[in-house]
Structure 1
């Protein structure tokens, strides 16, 4: 893509279904009904009482289980919950059919307001990183710290490997792809996605691969699977084109929370070039670059990501934070 082309043809990052929808050991799953949307919340009870709450938001094509490994590593540090956004994982589509970044951010805010868990340590990957950025910008009172793993922030010149994924947002392309790949097995689909999202797909164990295949088979049976993918991809591209105060980069500049940015050098969907721009945009940020990781560092190297988050907590515990107030509600 040349620099003169419009960003509405940009790439749309996705994340892989690396496990089945069943609950992992030590986790509990519950359904949360909110106005217009139903969320599924995956929680890992903390090892002791009194830990600060954390909320994890997945990306396009992912689910709350994308965070299971990291939540496990941080069970002694935070009281963690991960969401299935409307239309993903075990959560049904939203009633109004709105799959925009703003709609997802609104769902996260409603959940935090209704649960009373805020302010939280907020995590987001890929599309979930864009959602988390918007939440932190418009409701700073709900966010203690912000951790973004390969956030899907507007990129005018995506790398070639990301362009085919961006075509998901073009009307008719998803249905065409579904027809063209009708004979593909779930095993082939899973291998394609893992090769795109992991810096080294060999990190996925045989057991993990089998679970991912089972999850893909389950998703393909959902009548709304392809429609959700298409509409959510379009929502990301729409967010990329917004200007002014609604621009994701402008909102990144408004974030007050201490921010940890995590990028993989081998990421084929979000260019490592964006790490420098993000570091400049978020006013109180630190950058973790992982040489062997791809698009889902929290799944590829959860130990390193967990260690970096603990370092963020240790440093911010002794640093005064700016005053945060909730905006007036209409």
Structure 2
């Protein structure tokens, strides 16, 4: 593990808030997956794939992907049951990782620069550790790798709900009592260290996306089942056998950037350094005054670290 490098901020265009990337529905193995494309703005850009966190969607990467478009030809997917993708039979981490790997194969763009935030980080770890042929570099933003102290996450209050019969009906009833505007505020407060960093455009987009979630029957079930799959991966990580997320992480051979926000309220702040210690070729960046979604809260800082990683990997290739 070493400290992450940063390129100069002047390499990126002035701050703006581009609209979400154009999206399309793709029939993949009998189920609809929604994909957003950020076309490259320069020749020679390499393929990238972005994977969002629990309760998020492909729009969580709009700002970062726009900043990186001069280097990366980006795609972001909606995981099963989220955004505009159809639900799945299984929401376990291995099943989600298999879906991501299948998309890379289907799109015929691999190996890709793979990005994951939170749940998406756990999924990306699984992909990189089990399918190294599909990944060039790995960037993890507050990856939801296993930790067992529930006091370290605001989502710990949801744990009893996983054991309650008819939990999905109860959660749906509770959700119906909260307006999309209030839910957006709650999510922003949980994920951002400084909620004022979210622009008015992004806030309105989030409200509109939440309204769509209220209109689909599968959203709450997908959320709870995905959360259950994530917690299951936490428990299995400390049992014997090859299923441990930590054992998978130790197998990752690609250059990796791990980013954590010191004010993260959803993932234990000790997780990011531990991930960087376990992955052999890793770089660590801990950001003060930043929460759970650094790619949304401080996208320029994340972009500076990503481009430094890309430059380092490019220099290695040139030296061979």
Structure 1 runs of 4+ aligned residues shifted over 6 Å read none
Deviations 1:225-275 (A, max 9, x none): 111111111111111122321110110000001110010011001111112
Distance 2:66 2:301 in 1: 13
Secondary structure of the structure 1 residue equivalent to 2:204: helix
TM-score by length of 1: 0.85
Is 1:149–1:262's contact at 8 Å kept on the other side of the alignment?
yes
1:249 to 246, 249, 252: 246
Secondary structure of the structure 2 residue equivalent to 1:137: helix
Which residue pairs with 1:295 in the alignment? 292
Is 2:143–2:272's contact at 8 Å kept on the other side of the alignment?
no
Task: In structure 2, list runs of 5 or more residues that go unmatched.
Answer: 1-17
- Pairwise CA RMSD: 1.8
Choose 138-147 or 206-215, whichever is displaced more. 206-215
Is 2:20–2:62's contact at 8 Å kept on the other side of the alignment?
no
Distance 1:30 1:134 in 2: 26
Deviation at 1:142, TM superposition (A): 0.6
Task: In structure 1, list runs of 5 or more residues that go unmatched.
Answer: 1-23, 322-330
Distance 2:250 2:260 in 1: 19
Deviation at 1:99, TM superposition (A): 1.1
Distance 1:266 1:210 in 2: 24
TM-score by length of 2: 0.88
Which residue pairs with 2:259 in the alignment? 262
Residue 211 (1) aligns with residue 205 (2): yes
Is 2:139–2:258's contact at 8 Å kept on the other side of the alignment?
yes
1:154 to 122, 146, 149: 146
Which residue pairs with 2:105 in the alignment? 113
Secondary structure of the structure 1 residue equivalent to 2:228: helix
- Pairwise mapping of residues 161-200 of structure 1 onto structure 2 (< 5 A)? 161-167=154-160, 169-171=162-164, 172-200=166-194
Is 2:114–2:124's contact at 8 Å kept on the other side of the alignment?
yes
Is 1:87–1:93's contact at 8 Å kept on the other side of the alignment?
yes
**Number of paired residues?**
296
Is 1:45–1:80's contact at 8 Å kept on the other side of the alignment?
yes
Pair 1:167–1:305, CA change in 2 (3 A): farther
Is 1:168–1:229's contact at 8 Å kept on the other side of the alignment?
no
Deviations 1:270-290 (A, max 9, x none): 111112211211111011111
Is 1:100–1:236's contact at 8 Å kept on the other side of the alignment?
yes
Residue 52 (1) aligns with residue 49 (2): no
Is 1:26–1:45's contact at 8 Å kept on the other side of the alignment?
no
- Pairwise mapping of residues 216-227 of structure 1 onto structure 2 (< 5 A)? 216-227=210-221
Is 2:65–2:74's contact at 8 Å kept on the other side of the alignment?
yes
Distance 2:261 2:286 in 1: 6
Residue 104 (1) aligns with residue 96 (2): yes
Which residue pairs with 2:70 in the alignment? 76
